[in-house]
Amino acid sequence: MTTAQTAPPPPMRLRELVFGAACAAALRAAARLGVADALGESPMAVEDLAAAVKAEPKPLRRLLRALSCYGVFTERRDGTFAHTDMSRLLREDDPHSLRYIALWCTEAWTWDAWPLLDEAVRTGRNVVEDLYGKEFFTYLNEDAPESAEVFNLAMTTSSRQSAREVAALLDLSGSTSVADIGGGQGHVVASLLDKYPSMHGTLLDLPRVVENADPRLREGGDLADRVRIVPGDCRAEIPVQADVYIVKNILEWDDESTARTLRNVIEAGGPGARVVVIENLVDDTPSMRFSTAMDLLLLLNVGGAKHTTESMIARLTDAGLVIEDIRPVNPYLHAFDCTVPK
């Protein structure tokens, strides 16, 4: 029987850490095979699970044993496997599913990029352009459509989960319109329009992304008559007039792109507009391991960074925004509530 362990001595802990890739690969394999989906509420023999996911029983047992050490699945005394709170999150139908996040964070490009981290630390530049000859999102959309699809699904999952929290946090009474810049498939917009039944919303994101916007926002959807969908590049132009602009998890790229995006938001909104920037922070957060890992991945793919409170404040004030309030949205996201000065 395999059980999750706690606090091994430092040499063993370091040995474990250098095998971090094995843990990530095991999670990816389980997610791709659909093991968590095949395992129901009752424990299952590995032979039955193997038949359900079309795998060989012996290597599947090895995979599950490895994951059980981290508390993902558990092996029982009789050799059957059962779910844990963490393994359930790999199910596609779990209300808090992280299946697509697990796939996204372990996509093929990440395995090309991680070995070049020392190079990125040396130069301060992304490694994707040298690897693939183009910017990350261009590469994703032009050359890795399956990865782009996983990205969209991962963003859908995480933005659905955080959209409700954002809507619960923000008091937009008194405003009549909201625009989500780089808003993905539009879940934040949808949640805000649900909360404010007379509000109008705009979703701006790259063309390929808004093509797959939440069906509720598209023609025939119940929110369509209150929503405008704008395909575009927020670094080039933001042709959207609104009382409130949401900018969530996009100011993580290079400083020039951040500065241009903020400049465009300020120009579009004009004096008095409210700009709510929502980001993960690499300080003042209970989820430091997660946030700092994402910070390194951003360095690799877009030469970007997660912000500290201080660096976020600097970017916003340098752009000319006035910060009215900084509040946590949930344990890993903070909202910077700003206005464009009159």
Ligand X SMILES: C[S@@+](CC[C@H](N)C(=O)[O-])C[C@H]1O[C@@H](n2cnc3c(N)ncnc32)[C@H](O)[C@@H]1O
What residue ranges bind ligand X (CB under 6 A)? 137, 155, 159, 182-184, 205-206, 209, 233-235, 248-250
Burial class (CB in 10 A: 0-12, 13-18, 19+), 24: middle
Nearer to ligand X, 132 or 137 (CB): 137
Residue of 335, 288, 285, 340 whose CA lies nearest to 312: 335
Query: Least distance (Å) from ligand X to the CB of residue 239?
Result: 12
Nearer to ligand X, 34 or 231 (CB): 231
What are the Cα distances from residue 293, in Å, to 71, 117, 287, 300, 309?
20, 12, 10, 11, 17
Q: Output the residue with the shortest Cβ distance to ligand X.
A: 159
The per-residue DSSP string of 167-184 comes to: HHH---TT--EEEEET-T
Query: Least distance (Å) from ligand X to the CB of residue 71?
Result: 27
Nearer to ligand X, 48 or 233 (CB): 233
Nearer to ligand X, 87 or 157 (CB): 157
Nearer to ligand X, 64 or 223 (CB): 223
Query: Least distance (Å) from ligand X to the CB of residue 163?
Result: 7
Query: Least distance (Å) from ligand X to the CB of residue 248?
Result: 4
Residue of 306, 254, 244 whose CA lies nearest to 275: 244
* DSSP run (H or E) holding 254: none
**Which stretches within the chain are classed as H helix?**
10-18, 20-33, 35-38, 46-53, 57-68, 85-88, 99-104, 108-113, 117-123, 128-132, 136-143, 145-169, 187-195, 207-210, 255-269, 288-302, 309-319
Residue 147 has a CB neighbour count (10 Å cut-off) of: 18
d(CA 237, CA 304): 20
Query: Least distance (Å) from ligand X to the CB of residue 284?
Result: 19
- Token readout for 205 is 């994101």
Nearer to ligand X, 195 or 235 (CB): 235
Q: How many Cα atoms sit within 13 Å of 298 on the Cβ side? A: 19
Nearer to ligand X, 155 or 172 (CB): 155
Nearer to ligand X, 81 or 104 (CB): 104
73: left (phi over 0), alpha (psi -120 to 50) or beta: left
d(CA 146, CA 107): 10
Query: Least distance (Å) from ligand X to the CB of residue 233?
Result: 4
Query: Least distance (Å) from ligand X to the CB of residue 281?
Result: 15
Using DSSP, state whether 37 is helix, strand or coil.
helix
Nearer to ligand X, 161 or 309 (CB): 161
d(CA 263, CA 267): 6
Residue 148 has a CB neighbour count (10 Å cut-off) of: 19
Query: Least distance (Å) from ligand X to the CB of residue 249?
Result: 4
